[in-house]
Amino acid sequence: MSELDCRAQAVAGSAVTSWAAPQTCAEHFFFRGLPEAEWSPELNAKVLEIAQTKVAMYDADASEIEQTPADETYLQQHRRSFGSRPIRVLTSGNHAVGHLESKPADTPKHLKYEQEATLAQGRWLTLSSNSKQIFAHHSSEYIQFDEPDTGINAIRDVYDQAKRP
């Protein structure tokens, strides 16, 4: 089932099963699926309701995907330095892994992907003379859930620097 099929599902108000069975399309498009264990039952219910009824959400997602190549080209053509503004790049040790408990075994192909993703994220470091790549080795790609202190500390570091004269 494609994203367009999921959009049609939202238009029709039906709960068609997606390619990530047994999840519905609505469940599939939200992080690690719904319900998200880190969220309250009320929040999970509201997010599911929105995903099942708000067609604009699927339109925005499709538009973002369509524009990605043009955005990348624009950013390459208009690259500039941020001087010494602090930039923190949070990098997971487990790219493309939604849940650590269901992490597949490492294969040479996946390890190569991990290395490429880490190096690609590292290229953001050239945008500022005050940049750091912070590794969350024990996290899925959702660092905010698995290692929230890593994100909080990075934000605190940048905030503290911004307060300095």
The structural domains of the chain, with segments of one domain joined by +, span 3-74, 81-163
Q: Are 69 and 75 in contact (CB under 8 A)?
A: no
pLDDT of residue 19: 40
Tokens 């519905």 appear where? 24
> What is the distance of C-alpha 77 from the center of its chain?
24
98 and 140 Cβ atoms separated by less than 8 Å: yes
In this prediction, residue 90 carries a pLDDT of 97
Q: What is the predicted pLDDT for the residue at 148?
A: 95
Q: What's the angle, vertex CA 6, arms to CA 1 and CA 59, rounded to 5?
A: 130
Token pair of 136, please?
């969350």
Predicted local confidence at residue 35, as pLDDT: 83
Q: For residues 86, 155, 142 and 7, what is the CA-based torsion angle, rounded to 10 degrees?
A: -80
Two tokens, residue 1: 């089932």
Q: What is the pLDDT along the chain (165 residues), one digit of tens a residue?
A: 566 777 777 777 765 444 444 567 766 677 677 888 888 999 988 988 888 888 888 888 888 888 988 988 888 899 889 999 999 999 998 988 888 888 888 899 989 999 999 999 999 999 999 999 999 989 998 999 999 999 999 999 999 998 887
Instruction: Please tell me the distance from the alpha carbon of residue 64 to that of residue 83, in angstroms, as a whole number.
Output: 28
